[in-house]
Structure 1
Amino acid sequence: MMQWLSNIYRLGLKELRSLRADPVLLLLIVYIFSFAVYAVATGAKLEVVNASVAYVDLDRSDLTGRIIEAILPPEFDTPEEISATDIDRVMNKGDYVFVLYFPPGFEADVIAARLPEVQLNVDATAMVQAGNGSVFLQEIISAEVTKFIAGDDTSTSLPINLVVTAKFNPNLQSTWFSSVMQVINNVTILSVLLTGAALIREREHGTIEHLLVMPVSPAEIMLAKIWANGLAINVAAVLSLWLVVQGILAVPIAGSITLFVAGTVLYLVSVTGLGILLATFTTSMPQFGLLALPVLVIMNLLSGSTTPMESIPDWLQTIMQISPSTHFVAFSQAILYRGAGLNTVWPDMLVMAGLSAIFFVLALMRFRKTMAAN
């Protein structure tokens, strides 16, 4: 047993030295857990920010003026007036996400309770801003019309007292979600790429033949690659959470980092095993990249890190239960967002452990066959 552990340890050190000698992979690890996390968190906004608005005011009344003045930053840019004949042109060019049209006699019709229509043209290709922004504009118009009819600027009280409490993200900032999920997705991507690249590198450098004549087993070689590359990814992920997510982006981490690391270790066994499995079907890095790309896209897009699992068709939800990324995302969200403890996340950890064993065995069987062929 001690010799077995010693072999795994020393082979793992060899993997770390190989990684240290590869500046491209080192740069990739640094980039993907630093700038890539920051850029996605601050650049890919899910909420409405600086949405462009134009308006056509054929009424020129006090009411339309009040509505236009109520459309304010940071959700919207300052509205710009255009002519009615320019609506189709500016929408076709994509100059504005929203164009409001106030017909003649709008204020008089409101006072006379004739239910006038306000046309809101929306560029729905900007899907997130179109959906949320149109709701905001409807609320602004409704609030201003209500206050105008009431004759003062006090808001009309509702027959109920509606209290909305946003848990875990009180300001509804997309940065709180996207930054953490980017780290989680990057763990999956690098786990597959690094271990796969390590095996491909052995072949390209001819060192796989050296391993074949050494008194080591395929299981020892695999475990060495898994712990070495897993260690590098785990350290990079934790540093990213501390320095980038908490430090630069000021996103709070609610739960235990230690528990997160423990679950990540279980997860890394499965995804690094997957990387080795994919690498055994290829002979070069370009082939490996082409094979790994669709697998990673499916794992990330359908794991719940981009959209909720509930929005995925039921049959696809069932299929995705065999993906370790689905359980890792649920596990990570529970800990990092909601501060869950072991008593809450142990089912996901148990499933990840089971899937890790399955993926490891499959990868080991394929790896043995590949080494025997060499």
Structure 2
Amino acid sequence: MNFAYFWYEAAHALVSPARAVTDAARLTFNNPINPLTYTAYGRTIAAACELFERTTRRYGKPAFGLKETVVNGMTCRIREEVIWQRPFCNLLHFDRGGKAKRLNQPKLLIVAPVSGHYATLLRGTVEAFLPTHDVYITDWVDARLVPLSEGRFDLDDYIDYVTEMMRELAPNLHVLAVCQPSVPVIAAVALMEAENDPDVPASMIHMGGPIDTRRSPTAVNLLAQERGTDWFRRNCIVKVPFTQPGFMREVYPGFLQLSGFMAMNIDRHLTAHWEMFQHLVDGDGDSADKQREFYDEYLAVMDMTAEFYMQTIDEVFVKHSLPKGEMKHRGKPVDLAAIRRVALMTVEGERDDISGVGQTQAAHDLCRNLPAAMKLQHLQPGVGHYGVFNGRRFHQEIAPKITAFTRKFNGNADEVRPAGRVRVKGEAA
């Protein structure tokens, strides 16, 4: 299995000539000066060539592409800036300009998952909060691009990164963890609370997170329990090939994660590609564009370090260390009962097939010393996992509730600290 990545790279190289030929054919049959372009035959050839090219290409990291937003009736231009850097993560700020800054709206740190997709998968999440919050997001780095000389990155490091970022953005910070980050985020908050750290966030929101995967276990959870940690190490961990900067780093490659996601709903993806083909043949450009946009994002994947992936599988999905009170961070116990000052909101989807109903809500039971007035649970009817943080119901029903929650627990706006300059690895805070 250690050679899987090498064979994957070789397959891409071997198919490159065919991809180039079919792309040239697509351009030929889409050329307005070609009479066949306007025939069903020409459109069929062009559509088939495009689908072949799209299903055999490697998708690069997408851009957020958020150009502007409206804040209190003012149109504000968006400027992306990196305000904190480490080898495996950049903290990205969506700067909305001077007028929006003077409003002192709540700061929101969106912690994106390290689960195979880039942070841009949360583009809709970011866009929803730009009018009401000063938004930051964790922009995780593809592990295959990080040289071995930069060291390891595991679950303990993830918790350290989150802690550093929360301290960087304090005070009056609200943290939104989407799916997998729920465990490291709540662990980081508990550790800060245990030390009476003054930089704890004002609130934390967990969306579709695997806090306790023993509740309403999904196919993903059952697979981890059935196979165990050793099976994943034998079958999922490979070394980055020599063509990449992270040569010889052990990773869980994004293409394996994507294969798993695709396999869970293979009929849906096959139908979607068939529909795209029909849209292209019929000349329905708008419908085809929507399909293109979705798959440009969905098929862009990144690698995870082996140590992070294996530790997450072991602690979260096999041992259930957090809900059992057995989780430790660098030898220190992670006790959620220490959380007393940070308001807690959880959001779940009724049809979530990745994090079952009750898995995120479990945080309320574990934070037993947090007053009931500082807790809020929301179960969104009719949505699956991705509907929890994206789509129409998220924008219309979930996001407004989160905004109201952060406003309720926002501190003194006069204490808002402006974001600092970029800090790099090894530099003192």
Higher strand share: 2
Between structures 1 and 2, the one with greater helix share: 1
Q: Place the TM-score, normalised by the shorter chain, in its bin.
A: under 0.3
TM-score, reference length from structure 1: 0.22
| Larger Cα-atom Rg | 1
Question: TM-score w.r.t. structure 2 length?
Answer: 0.20
